[in-house]
Structure 1
Amino acid sequence: MASPRPLSFDANLKILSLWARHIFSIAISKPRRFIAFLPPLPGRQMLLDLRSGRRLEIRLRTINDWCTAKQVFFDNDYGFEKLARGGDLNRRFDEIVESGHSPLILDCGGNIGLAARFFAETYPQAEIVSIEPDRDNIEQAKINTATTKVTTIEAAIASNDGNGTLIDPGLGNNGYRVHESADGAVRLISVNTLIADARAKKCVPFLIKIDIEGFESELFSKNTEWIEAFPILIIELHDWMLPKTANAANFLKTISQLNRDFVFHGENVFSIANDF
């Protein structure tokens, strides 16, 4: 994929407008964990974590990048505070740490590393692996997670190890899709492979986040035993984007057979194990 062009004046103006709306929303809404205490500068956004007092700098290239940052940090898409079982999940995280192991977090569809950075700030003791098939996004993710323990892998998550092709449907750098292809240039890597690699480092599965633009249909088509290893699975489904494909069918069929809570919040499903 070609590198995104520098933001135009109009694009910078739009981002500035979005930031102004964010500041207004802070003033009228309940307290948030992250705030953008400075307006967006060209290519970057400064954040303040009100929980830890830490300042974060994230690098952005496009309006899509800023919108992703808004979802992850300002809208708190992946935070547990909104879940009735958030306390259970945090206790399970602490149990893994106290046992002498590192909780494993897999960020599937890592994009430019913003979700991985959020998880790293929230769970600094975790081993976080961000899997993303687009090279330009991977390079940006390395910048955004440079001060953390996040490992980035240039690949797409799949049910089996193999190869695929990256497709650009014209939705921006957070909308790339993957198709299986034996001679494709994109590496496919399975969750089972990642778990096996992590266990060799004394890691225990804790959280898996999946936002892979419809490839979840393939991911959940077979070899899904890994689901039960994760206390929490967070996924965005894409039937809304791919009408008349029943894209979520494999996920729904698989997850409905397991003893897990199903919580819909915003764009994501939170699937929470009931056996811990």
Structure 2
Amino acid sequence: MRSKLPFYLKRFGVAQGLRLYFLLKSKRKGLVRIRIPQARHPIYLRLGTSDRNVFNNIFVQGEYDAVELGNHPQTFLDGGGNIGLAAVYFANRYPAMQIVSVEPESENFKMLQLNCQSYETIRAVQAGLWSRSTHLDIRDAGGGAWGFQVEETDRPTPASVRAESIEALIRANGGKPFEVVKLDIEGSEAEVFRTCTEPWLPFVRALIVELHEWMIPGSSASFVAATAPYNYRKTVSGEYEVYERQDLTV
């Protein structure tokens, strides 16, 4: 596997790049606090977990760098917030944008709160994204802390998490539609786009999505059917497909 050290050196400089590279590559366990030029506030990571992979994707390899959100977007939904690093990235890049970051899994959500606590523009919500309000069970799909999946349950337990629709999150956000929606929700996009998209999708200027057809067959079909009425320009940024509305003028 190709070493990521050159990326660290390019992003953070020689001294800091070397220090961060060997710190995050070590076999140590525990919580670390790091500072990087790309973030106004410290970033917290759990050593020995997939947190390093998330950090590498976003801040080292720049998987969102090609995403251009024109017209100064004011509202952003971060679906599948994980430990909050996507929210932190966009909060630093677009300081005036109000971000709602949604993550269902409890330990990840604690990290999300920790990473986002110093940003007044980020609001953290513990929930799973779904097409309606219900309850979800969380299961590990084998991807570690960045690969949890959810499934609807008729019998909620203390371990279940609430599910929220994007429409409900808009109501909780003072009725302000989300201009940008980022979704990395491990196959739940099949349900999110399957139905009840009319209250929110027409107002979205940009979609940043990772479809998980290999996890949940039908994810791509739901997405294609829901977005078919609108005119998008598609680009790719890292593992994400970016869809920018070309027919939205208001």
Partner of 1:139: 110
Q: Whole-Å Cα distance in 2 between the matches of residues 162 and 55 of structure 1?
A: 35
Identity over aligned pairs, percent: 27
For the structure 1 residues 166 and 228, does the alpha-carbon distance in structure 2 shift closer, same or farther, using more than 3 Å as the test?
same
| Aligned pair partner of 1:219 in 182, 188, 192 | 192
List per-residue Cα deviations over 1:141-166 (Å, max 9, x = no partner): 11111211221111101111111111
Once the two structures are superposed, the pairs formed by residues 97-176 of structure 1 within 5 Å of their partners are: 103-149=74-120, 150-176=122-148
User: 1:32-82 deviations in whole A, cap 9, x for unaligned?
Assistant: 5899633226532634326x8x46433234331100111111222223xx3
Q: C-alpha deviations, 1:181-213, integer Å up to 9, x for none?
A: 12232100010111122235xx45221110110
Letter of the 1:105 counterpart:
F
Q: Paired residue for 1:11?
A: none
SS across alignment from 1:173? helix
Q: What is aligned with 1:265? A: 237
What SS does structure 2 have at the residue aligned with 1:196? Answer: helix
Asked if residue 64 in structure 1 is aligned to residue 50 in structure 2, the reply is yes
Query: 2: CA distance between counterparts of 1:217 and 1:110?
Result: 18
Q: Which residue of 2 aligns with 1:197?
A: 172
Partner of 1:232: 206
* Runs (5+) with no aligned partner, structure 2: 25-29
Q: RMSD in angstroms over aligned alpha carbons?
A: 2.6
Residues 182, 209 of structure 2: 8 Å contact kept: yes
Cα distance between partner residues in 2 of 1:214 and 1:170: 14
Aligned pairs (5 A) from 1:5-84: 21-25=3-7, 32=11, 37=17, 38-39=19-20, 40=23, 43-44=31-32, 46-49=34-37, 54=40, 56-79=42-65, 82=66
1:264 is displaced (CA, Å) by: 3.0
Q: Does the 8 A contact of 1:234 with 1:270 survive in 2?
A: yes
Contact 2:88 2:115 in 1 (8 A): yes
Q: CA–CA distance in 2 between the matches of 1:92 and 1:116? A: 16
- Between Structure 1 and Structure 2, how many residues are aligned? 234
Amino acid at match of 1:255: T
Task: Describe the superposition over 1:215-248 as per-residue Cα deviations: whole angstroms up to 9, x where unpaired.
Answer: 1111111011212212111010112345xx2331
Pairwise CA distance, 1:124: 1.8
Q: Unpaired segments of 5 or more residues in structure 1?
A: 1-16, 94-102
Bigger relative contact order (CA 8 A; separation at least 6):
2
* TM-score normalised by the chain length of structure 1: 0.76
- Name the structure 1 match of 2:180: 207
Relative to the length of structure 2, the TM-score reads: 0.83
